[in-house]
Amino acid sequence: MKSEIEVKFLNVDFDQVRAKLRELGGECEQPMRLMKRVTIETPELLRKKSYVRVRDEGDKVTLTYKQFDSLSVDGAKEIEIIVSDFKDTVALLSAAGLPHISFQESKRETWKIGAVEVVLDEWPWLNPYIEIEGESEAELKDVAGKLGFDWNDAVFGGVTIAYRAQYPHIDPGDTVGRIAEIKFGDPVPDFLQAKV
């Protein structure tokens, strides 16, 4: 399995990040686009802090096994392949006894600074954030610093980490992967609303 070296910075202003990326010579590889995905969780996958995902990224469709060994800069591991069709891959997995439990929309814009990838991520009911991915923690710290981010504000893990930061009342065992549909324009689900 490949280790991902990545970090997130939450509650960002996309226009400021884009301006800084341009100033640093960054190139926009893919403008903001709608992405859709389904996630599959089974009791065995949950025990391993993992899930399977099918994602339509706009220019390709990927099938990914993702596992979080720890919430650290290199704690995410994955195996990812490109598949030919979103709906057919979801149907194949369902027929094999692995139906999805969550359909999710997000928006993503992808930039490159040298070998480092910077993505601007937008999810329903969540403040914008960026993710920086590269070959080493030193590369990430360098790019984060140049973009004006303090490494002490870095967070690690999947998108649930961002939701938990914005909605701190979420129970530790809850993940956004358990929400049946996460779509732009839908009302905030009870799961995320503060308990009174």
pLDDT tens for each residue of 153-177: 999 988 989 999 999 988 777 777 7
pTM exceeding the 0.85 threshold for the entire prediction: yes
Gap between the Cα atoms of 119 and 58, Å rounded = 14
Across 12-21, 49-58, 65-74, the highest mean pLDDT is recorded for: 12-21
What pLDDT does 3 receive? Answer: 85
Contacts of 52 (CB under 8 A, 6+ apart): 39, 40, 45, 63, 64, 65, 66, 93, 98
Gap between the Cα atoms of 141 and 132, Å rounded = 9
| Confidence band of 195 (pLDDT split at 50, 70, 90) | low
* Listed residue (169, 146, 149) closest to 11, CA to CA: 149
Do residues 139 and 116 touch, judged by C-beta distance below 8 A?
yes
Torsion angle of C-alpha atoms 45, 11, 57, 178, degrees rounded to 10? 30
Torsion angle of C-alpha atoms 9, 15, 18, 24, degrees rounded to 10? -90
Gap between the Cα atoms of 9 and 133, Å rounded = 12
SS3 of 140, please? Answer: helix
Domain 2-186 architecture: Beta Barrel (2.40)
In this model, does residue 115 exceed pLDDT 90? yes
Lowest-pLDDT range of 47-56, 57-66, 143-152, 165-174 = 165-174
Residues forming beta bridges with residue 77, ordered by sequence position: 3, 67
